[in-house]
Homo-oligomer: A and B are copies of this chain.
Amino acid sequence: MTRIAVDAMGGDHAPFEIVAGAVWGAAQYGVALELVGKQDQIEQCLETIQQEGFLSDCGKAGKKKKIKVDIKSLDIKITHASEVIEMGEAPGQAIRKKKNSSIVLAVNSVATGSSDGLVAAGSTGAAMASSLFGLGRIPGIDRPAIAVTLPTMKKPVVIIDGGANSNCTPQMLKQFAIMGMTFSKNVLGIQKPKVGVLNIGEEAGKGNELAQSTYNLLEEEKEKFNFMGNVEGKELFLNVCDVVVCDGFAGNVVLKVVEGTSSLLFKMIKSEFKSDFLGMIIGMLAKPFMRRIYGRINYEEFGGCLLLGVKGVTVIAHGRSKAYAIKNAVRVARDAVETQVNKTIAEII
């Protein structure tokens, strides 16, 4: 049985929502758990969940459902961690100083084979750094990167890097392309993924130095990468390609602007429907439809992003994750373990 380690102390809503999501995922996706964090707090969470259950909006804004999980039926191991790495700490320093932190011990569990993969909703930098040092890099990959799946009208698109590396070289982006293609094929099931470079114009020669050089590198091996050239931000959702490479700064800006724009639009829709009496009635009728759309684009549905390029499975969840998002992150971790993405990357590289 696949066992997923979860950093129970990481994220804005730790430990309760994290523990709740973890057991929910374990029950739903048939995996064993290793909960890493302060033992007494974890045990208290488990007791509350067993006795009272918990409320979750199930990825649809507003509507909450009571979730019940029979914890006794699950295979759960608790690993005590006396320290926690906070959001503001410098990652490299923090993981060296806090050897007994929940994230470092959770990574250790994967490194020693006690668990098969890991879910972390705390500091992204700390999750990255501890995975890099604890699991090790795949030979031939300079820097691990975060693969993020974006929803579109048709098939999902992978953006890589989603925020692991702020300063990148063209060579790194070429490696991101290989990792992204493997993810797209193994996890998303896209047979011959097409690669594009995030840029601010379609023509070759557009954009900054990084985008231009990356374009040239991929163009040299056009067939191998199924390279289709530059992709602009407005085309990300139009399925012009399956994998978009960029540095982690641009990639993270993209993700957060998608989040900000969707949230603005939903607010505008709400306020527009409230502008008159007729609108309020139509708005009420339209609510279930709006909830379904919210569910289609909500990051909670995607659970978390996979860190590619390390020798093991680390799923990085949103810091704001509640139970529903963590449940889905457990699914992503299970899929990544079963499809062996990082092993395949190692073989290709």
Contacts and interface: CB of A to CB of B under 8 A. Distances in A.
Contacts of A289: 269, 272-273, 275, 279, 282-283
Interface of A: 87-88, 90, 151-153, 163, 166-167, 198, 200, 203, 205-209, 211, 232-238, 247-250, 252-265, 267-269, 271-273, 275, 279, 282-283, 285-286, 289-290, 292-293, 296-297
Contacts of A234: 256-257, 259-260, 263
A262 B261 contact: yes
B205 A90 contact: yes
- Ranked nearest first, the 7 interchain pairs of A and B with the lowest CB-CB distance are A233-B256, A233-B257, A234-B260, A200-B252, A166-B208, A261-B261, A237-B264
9 contacts: A87-B203, A88-B203, A90-B205, A153-B268, A233-B254, A250-B250, A269-B293, A279-B289, A286-B286
Given A153-B271, A289-B282, A167 B209 contact: yes
A166 B279 CA distance: 44
Contacts of A167: 208-209
Given A233-B259, A234-B260, 9 more contacts: A153-B267, A153-B271, A233-B252, A233-B257, A257-B261, A265-B265, A265-B293, A268-B293, A275-B289
A263 B238 CA distance: 10
A285 to B, nearest CB: 5
Q: Give the residue among A153, A253, A279, A286 with the most B Cβ atoms within 10 A.
A: A253
A264 B200 contact: no
A257 B244 CA distance: 13
A286 B296 contact: no
A273 to B, nearest CB: 6
Nearest to A238: B260
Nearest to A165: B208
A229 to B, nearest CB: 13
